[in-house]
Amino acid sequence: MTTKPPAKTAPFPENSVEKLVYDSIEAITTCEPNDRARLGYSIIRWLNSKSGTLEDVIFQSHIRLEMPVPEAVEIIRKALADRGISPPQ
């Protein structure tokens, strides 16, 4: 029995919103790396929909943080602002 090789993926361009968001959440500590990926995806959806707050995004996506939510929100907001993305209030 043989298996196929994994699909090739291309990295995001350096100036794409996705790349900037995923770079912004590198400092956030989560229980598993998959939680960080889910956080990045949820933030991208939040930036596109502009509904709710960042706190709501974290609670609704059931991300297991290893830090307090207010601290994570502050880090994310600052990191996004440093990269030129203005998050909804």
85 pLDDT band, cuts 50/70/90, is confident
Do residues 64 and 34 make contact, with C-beta atoms less than 8 angstroms apart? Answer: no
pLDDT mean over 60-89: 89
Question: What is the reported pTM?
Answer: 0.81
pLDDT, tens digit, for every residue of 15-67?
Answer: 888 999 999 999 899 999 899 999 999 999 999 988 889 999 999 989 999 99
> pLDDT class for 1, splitting at 50, 70, 90?
low
* CB proximity list for 4: less than 8 A, separation 6 or greater: none
